[in-house]
Structures are given as C-alpha cells and as structure tokens.
Amino acid sequence: MTDNNLAIYATFVVYLIVMLGIGFYAYRRTSNSSDYFLGGRSLGPWPAALSAGASDMSGWLLLGLPGYAYASGFEAFWLAGGLLAGTWANWLFAAKRLRTYSIVANDSLTLPEYFANRFRDNSRLLQVISAFFILLFFLFYTSSGLVAGGKLFESVFGMDYSIAVIVGTVCVVSYTLFGGFLAVSWTDLIQGLLMAAALLIVPVMVMQMDGGWNAMFESLRELNPQLLTLFNDKDGNALSWISIVSLVAWGLGYFGQPHILARFKASRSNEEIPTARRIAVIWSGLSMAGAIGVGLAGLVYVNGHMSGDVSDGEKIFMVLVNAAFHPVIAGILLAAILAAIMSTADSQLLVSSSALAEDFYKKLFRPNAGPTEIVNVGRAAVLVLSVVALMLAFNPDSSVLNLVSYAWAGFGAAFGPALLLSLYWPRMTRNGALAGIVVGALTVVIWKQLSGGLFDLYEIVPGILFATLAVVLVSLFDAEPGEEIRAQHNNMLEKL
C-alpha cells in the first residue's frame, strides 16, 4: 500500500469511527418506537433540513449530476432547477401540514400509517398496500447505494468488489441498527455539510490550476460552444419540449418520497419549519451548483491535462480530487461520496424497517405489541432488509437495478398526489387515496416499458397526472367522508 493510499485509508477509518460514535450516542437516547422511527419528533431546523437534503441526494449528487454536466454542459441546469424548485415547494406546501396532520391522526409515525389514520381505514388495506410499494422500491434503491459504495471502496483501495460491498453495508447498518432515526439524522447533518463543502471546494481549486472561471468558460467555448447553451444539446440540436419537461419534472417527485417526508413529521415545531425550508433550499442550490461546476471543470481539466477521455463521466469527481489535493484532503473529500451514499441508504433502511414493523407486523400480526417489541422488530427488519439488498448488490449488473431509474418516479407518482390532496382536500376519500397510489405506481411501471414520441416523456409526468385524476374521480363518485374525518381535518387546520 502506498503512502497516499495509507493516508486516504486512515481518513476513511476516522470518518467511519465518528459516524459509529454518533450512532452509539443516539442508541442511548432511543427508548420507544417514536424515538426509533421519528427521533421523538425532536429535530431542529438544521438537522431536519440537512438530513432531508442528504438523504435525498445520495451519491447522485457527487457522481450522477457531475457526470451529467460533464456529458451535457448547461443542459444539467434544467435538472438542477427542477429539483431546487421541488425542494422549495415540498417544504412550503407539505412540511407543516404533514407534521401537524400526522400528530392529529393518532400520532402516525409512518406514511402508510398516516394514510390509514387520515381516512379511518379499519381494514388497513390502504396501509398495507402503501407499505408494499415502499418495500418494493426501497429494496432497489438501497441495493444501488450499496453497489455505489462497493465501487467507491474498490476504486480507492483496490478492494475486491464483493468485500467492498460488505464493508460498506456493515458501516451503514451498524449505526442505523442501534441509533435509529436520531443516528440517521445527526449523521446526515454532518454528511450534508461535508457533501456541500466538497462540491464547492473541488471545482474552485481545479479552476485555480487553469486560470480561474473566465478561463474555464473560454476553454469550454473553444471545446464546444453548445455546452454553454440552455436550449441546445451538445450536438447543437434544439432541446425538445419533452426533454425540457422531463428534466424539470424531476422536482415533482419530492412530494412522494417517504424518507424525505419523515423529516417533516420529525420536526420539533411548526414555527421552525420556515427556517428549515430556507436552510434546505440554500444547501440544495449551493450543492447542485457545485456539482455542475465539478462536471464543467472536469471537462476543461481532462481536455487540457489528460491524453484521453474519462471512460465513466460519473467518476469525474474522484478524478479531480486525486489530481488537485493532498492525500489527506483527498481522503476527506472522497469520504463525501461515502457520506452521500450512507446518508441515503440509512434512511431507506429505516423507512423500510418502519414499514415492516409498524405497518405489517403490528397491524397484521401483533396489534398489542409494546414499544420495546416494535423497536426490536424494526432493528431485526434492518438486518433482514440489508441482507436482501446486499444479495442484490453483489451483482452490480443485476437487472433488478434497472428499476432504480424510475423508483423516484414511482414514489413521486404513487404517493405525491395522494399526500398533497389528503392535506388540502377534505372531500378526499379512502378509496380515492387507494386508487391514486395504485394508479400512480402502475402508470410509472408501464410507461417505462414504452418508447418513442410521447412515451419518451419522463414517466413521473403521466404518473402524477393519472394518479391525481384517479384520486379526484374516485373520491367524487364515492360517499362523502364521515363526520369524524371532517372533524379531524378541521382540527389539523386549527393547529397550523
């Protein structure tokens, strides 16, 4: 092992020890299911905002978005702009009402439990179907994160891929297993700050090596002026309305992501949510601007300093870090990739385990289970789900990972319309919610299999459209909600 690799390795080890220490501290503060799954609803604006952002962006922020900017130039701003608008709208329109309604609706801890209590669904069919879709999509999300972690360890340390995946899985599971939501949220706070710092520092330092930002834009203009346009692709062809709408529409997915919505429910008070919203929007804006900067700076660096192109554009962040920084600093910056991966995988495991413990085990098998039993079942669920995700991750080319590309759309279409309408429309019914969830999810899955013309539109757009129509039409044809449901909705409005 070279001295450079040793320095990077030591940095990674210190980082992981700190994360595990946070997990152990949170474990000592976790005594019941509310603590384990929602942190006792005690998150202040900083951990709520950065935990939501870090768990949302994952390794995509340091690998996917820089890679997209590296390949497409300014076209990436459409995607980033849509996500930024979605972040703002989600905090503005959903956060306060969901936090309040989840408390009014019998202190609902999970999203499926909220739907069941919101519509007084004694059959629990709505809760079970919602939990099913959460488990289905999150298994693929989590396994993809473990694959990304394995590739990072494989690339940095030359580990065998299988061993690298196991190491990453053990790290994520350890603090999620013991600390639960508090461990996840507090580590996300640190990881979110590390991710943003890395994305802002790397392009600035690389550009200083090549004459600054003006020199970078001149180099890009000489390389390919189409990279600096918003309405043309890199080949000079005009972007179609389908392409632009598909990129911006990514922002619509925020309203249905269970791991992000959990941060709203866990917030300490309604009064702090506007502060959290501002923090979240600023963090997202700076981080995505930095990610695009990494991609653009990488184009200039590769063209001026390397004999060939980078085979995988998503590795451009790692290329620049190794080129521009001392091994110790490089280790810290590369740990930001691990932070991004861990911050999402832990949230996905926790939401999935809560679905198994609260929405399946407690409702279907042990309705009288005590808080300690539910927490233990939740921890066991983390282990079981981790093993399944690990088995999927052992094969990085596994066909099941193809679902990851539309899992975001699946969550957004299945839960987004149902959630927003449940917060604002008192006429909505249980059958309307059930129809919206099923229609949204199935539309995304079916639309993804089709191609050509209108079917090239990102599947979240028709998914949300058809899900909204299903909720509205079924609710209008259904019997009006009972007095108890209307009274519950009015109680929520009074407590806002």
Residue 55 reports pLDDT greater than 60: yes
The mean per-residue pLDDT over the stretch 9-27 comes to 74
Residue 115 reports pLDDT greater than 50: yes
Q: What is the pLDDT of residue 399?
A: 39
- pTM given for the model: 0.89
CB 203 within 8 Å of CB 296: yes
Q: What is the pLDDT of residue 101?
A: 97
H or E segment and range at residue 214: helix 213-223
Q: What is the pLDDT of residue 404?
A: 60
Q: Return the higher-pLDDT residue of 413 and 60.
A: 413
Q: What is the pLDDT of residue 182?
A: 65
| Residue environment code for 117-148, b if the CB has 16+ CB neighbours within 10 A, otherwise e | bbbebeebebbbbbbbbbbebbbbbbbbbbbb
List Cβ neighbours of 103 (8 Å cut-off, separation of 6 or more). Answer: 41, 495
Domain ranges of the chain: 3-398
**Banded model confidence at residue 352, pLDDT cuts 50, 70, 90:** confident
- Burial group, residue 90, by CB count within 10 angstroms (0-12, 13-18, 19+): buried
Residue 240 reports pLDDT greater than 90: yes
Q: What is the pLDDT of residue 326?
A: 81
The mean per-residue pLDDT over the stretch 176-198 comes to 74
Query: In this prediction, what percent of the chain has a pLDDT beyond 70?
Result: 88
**Banded model confidence at residue 177, pLDDT cuts 50, 70, 90:** low
Choose the weakest-confidence range: 94-108, 251-265, 329-343: 329-343
- Axis crossing angle, helix 161-209 with helix 258-266, rounded to the nearest 10: 80
Q: What is the pLDDT of residue 324?
A: 82
Chain segment 353-381, per-residue pLDDT in tens: 777 777 777 777 777 777 778 777 777 77
Q: What is the pLDDT of residue 3?
A: 62
Q: What is the pLDDT of residue 405?
A: 66
- State both tokens at 14: 């210190």
Ramachandran quadrant class, 402 (left: phi over 0; alpha: psi -120 to 50; beta: rest): alpha
Chain segment 399-455, per-residue pLDDT in tens: 334 546 678 899 999 999 999 999 999 999 999 999 999 999 999 989 998 989 899
Strand locations in 177-251, DSSP E?
A: none
Residue 185 reports pLDDT greater than 60: yes
Within the chain, how many helices (H) and strands (E) appear? 20, 0
Chain segment 152-175, per-residue pLDDT in tens: 777 777 778 788 788 777 776 765
Residue 262 reports pLDDT greater than 80: yes
Ramachandran quadrant class, 312 (left: phi over 0; alpha: psi -120 to 50; beta: rest): beta
Superfamily classification of domain 3-398: Sodium/glucose cotransporter (1.20.1730.10)
**Banded model confidence at residue 387, pLDDT cuts 50, 70, 90:** confident
Q: What is the pLDDT of residue 23?
A: 65
**Banded model confidence at residue 392, pLDDT cuts 50, 70, 90:** confident
**Banded model confidence at residue 271, pLDDT cuts 50, 70, 90:** very high
- State both tokens at 92: 């503005």
Residue 334 reports pLDDT greater than 90: no
How far is it, in rounded angstroms, from Cα 333 to Cα 313?
18
232 in helix, strand or coil?
strand
In this structure, which amino acid lies at residue 447? W
CB 173 within 8 Å of CB 349: yes
Q: What is the pLDDT of residue 62?
A: 82
- State both tokens at 34: 């509310």
| Residue environment code for 170-191, b if the CB has 16+ CB neighbours within 10 A, otherwise e | ebbbbbbbbbbbbbbbbbbbbb
Q: What is the pLDDT of residue 401?
A: 42
Chain segment 417-433, per-residue pLDDT in tens: 999 999 999 999 999 99
Chain segment 204-214, per-residue pLDDT in tens: 998 888 777 78
CB 29 within 8 Å of CB 182: yes
CB 277 within 8 Å of CB 69: no
| Average pLDDT over all residues of the chain | 84
Q: What is the pLDDT of residue 418?
A: 98
Q: What is the pLDDT of residue 228?
A: 93
CA distances from 349 to 136, 282, 412 (A): 12, 27, 18
